[in-house]
Amino acid sequence: MNLRWVLILVAAVGCKKSREQECDDLAKLGTAFASELDKRLGNGGGKAGQDPEIKAAMAELKQQCMKWPDAVFECMRNNDETSPKCRDAMAQVNGRVATDATKAPDGPPIVATADLGEWDWEGLVTSLAPDGTLTATAPSWVAEYAPTGQQTWRAEIETKRWMVMLGDGSVLVTDRAQHDLVALDGATGQVRWRAAWPKTDEYDSGSAEGAVAVGNRVYVAIDDGRVMRLDPAACTKKPAACMELAFTLADESFSEPTLFAVGDDLGVGESGIIRLFKVDGTLRASIALRDSSADIASLGGTKIAAVMDEELVLWDLAKCGSNKVVLPRKKGRMYIRGEGDCEDCTTPPEGCLVARSELSDVESVAPFALKDGSVAVQVMDGPARAAPNGNKHWVAEVDGIGPIREVGDALVFLSREDDAKPLRLVALASSTGKATWQRALPTISGDISYSSEPFLEVAGNWIVVGSKGKAAWLKTGAK
């Protein structure tokens, strides 16, 4: 609902009406506005207000209106959008939060920095231990750094963009040159064991495109469509016999899929599709994507959050079924006719599509599940938070790029003022979206072109941030 229309409505009805009357008038105006827009677009003579979905949206708007504080109505009646008091009040209506992160107090200090080495626009794959130890991998190396910023070991190895941290402290990667899997000792970087997947023929030179731990096993996607099951404990004793075929996808191939665990099942995100398999290959869910791929976060149980079609969408994969489903076109949104159509797709069955968020223009960065069940994402205007049912909590109007993480009661992310200045780590109060602290990172350039370039990890009382081969360690609670 356009704020200007809201202001016009409340100014017109005056301040003598009851709250319920005002909210009812607001919902009626929304219905009338939809019909008028529909009429001007030549769609059925302006009957959009009769659409059940629009009626339901207006009913929800009325319910939200009943919860708005008196300050909101006072500002509306005065047609005042400029005062700080009214901006804060109206943020409760439209969810937009204006905050100047550069004026927030300094946050945790930087206790160490490091130059990690070679990088490219796709960034590094990183993992942080609770003691502040950072493990990072690039296409030609894997390395570990102490929280002092000192490199503890480095292995020169051609890898793919994934690694799995095993329970015994080893780092599992693939060796593209040797076409097998390698477990590196987490303390020394030395090879603990190697395991090769069975070759289909003497000319087989397949690659391991992705891997994920599901329970006490690791599932590895081979580019020829095979999914291998690895027992890390058995590999330490007999590497030659610790990997077996879990299942094969006939007439398919993998190219850098996103693998994720959903309970005891295996999720696979690829270009054009998200699927959930039982570990024997039985298909449990299939969701078509109009975008080439989706960024995914597990919400616990069988629920996931996915950034698709520039929206944040929540799914319950256990209720989607094996028939391919597709996200319905959003009413009122323009698209090229025929683009992204799926002829063999069906509408999601009940319970499959949990919610499509009110947030729009969501950036292609993996969403982050917060401990209270809500979801944080980056949108065009800045970091945003959505409720477990998809409703927008707030959008903070501050530059943000790359991943979002949770530190205490705050959401932290990287922000750029401009390319000439260093990056800034910013924390927003999770409840309000207001900046609570910031920390300039003078050793890390803010000249970032792709959201894949920066990384941000949080574990224990450590925060490690970086971009373009540079990293900084911050310690919460330190002075």
What is the domain extent for residue 62? 3-94
Q: What percent of the chain has pLDDT over 90?
A: 61
User: Is 71 within a domain?
Assistant: yes
Residue 309 pLDDT grade (very low, low, confident, very high; cuts 50, 70, 90): confident
User: Is 468 within a domain?
Assistant: no
User: Is 219 within a domain?
Assistant: no
User: Is 158 within a domain?
Assistant: no
User: Is 82 within a domain?
Assistant: yes
Which token pair is 471? 């990293």
Q: Is the pLDDT of residue 366 over 90?
A: yes
pLDDT of residue 192: 96
Q: Is the pLDDT of residue 27 over 60?
A: yes
Residue 452 pLDDT grade (very low, low, confident, very high; cuts 50, 70, 90): confident
pLDDT of residue 7: 44
More confident call, 175 vs 343: 175
Which token pair is 307? 């950034």
Residue 90 pLDDT grade (very low, low, confident, very high; cuts 50, 70, 90): low
10 Å CB burial of residue 334 (0-12, 13-18, 19+) is: exposed
- Tell me how many domains the chain contains: 1
Q: Which residues contact 154 (CB under 8 A, 6 or more apart)?
A: 141, 142, 143, 144, 189
Residue 61 pLDDT grade (very low, low, confident, very high; cuts 50, 70, 90): confident
Residue 86, SS3? helix
Q: What is the mean pLDDT of the chain?
A: 87
pLDDT per residue as tens digits for the range 231-266: 999 999 999 889 999 999 999 999 999 999 999 999
Using only C-alpha atoms, the chain has a radius of gyration, in whole angstroms, of: 25
The answer to whether 181 and 172 are in contact (CB under 8 A) is yes
User: Is 55 within a domain?
Assistant: yes
10 Å CB burial of residue 192 (0-12, 13-18, 19+) is: buried
Q: Is the pLDDT of residue 421 over 80?
A: no
Q: Residue 458's beta-bridge partner residues?
A: 463
pLDDT of residue 14: 46
- C-alpha 442/C-alpha 462 separation (Å) is 18
Give whole-number Cα distances, 183 to 116, 166, 222, 326, in Å. Answer: 21, 9, 17, 39
pLDDT of residue 44: 60
Sheet holding 164-165, edge to edge: 164-165, 171-175, 180-184, 191-195
User: Is 433 within a domain?
Assistant: no
More confident call, 160 vs 62: 160
End-to-end CA distance of the chain, in Å?
46
User: Is 326 within a domain?
Assistant: no
Among residues 394, 387, 439, 389, the alpha carbon closest in space to that of 413 is found at 439
Helix (H) or strand (E) holding 296: strand 295-298
Q: What is the mean pLDDT of residues 53-68?
A: 74
10 Å CB burial of residue 198 (0-12, 13-18, 19+) is: exposed
pLDDT per residue as tens digits for the range 383-414: 999 999 888 889 999 999 999 999 999 999 99
Among residues 194, 172, 183, 345, the alpha carbon closest in space to that of 259 is found at 172
Q: Which residues contact 29 (CB under 8 A, 6 or more apart)?
A: 5, 9
